[in-house]
Amino acid sequence: MKKQVPTRRKYEIVKRFGDLAIAAISLLLLSPFLLLTIIAIKLDSKGPVLFKQKRVGRGKSTL
pLDDT in tens, 5-60: 678 889 999 999 999 999 999 999 999 999 999 999 999 988 888 888 888 887 77
Burial state string for 14-38 with b = 16 or more CB within 10 A and e = fewer than 16:
eeeeeeeeeeeeeeeeeeeeeeeee
pLDDT value for 5: 61
Kindly indicate the confidence band of residue 63, based on its pLDDT and cuts at 50, 70 and 90. Answer: low
pTM above 0.95, yes or no: no
To 5 degrees, how large is the angle CA 5–CA 9–CA 15?
135
The residue ranges of every structural domain in the chain are 1-45
- Residue 3 pLDDT more than 80? no
DSSP for residue 27:
H
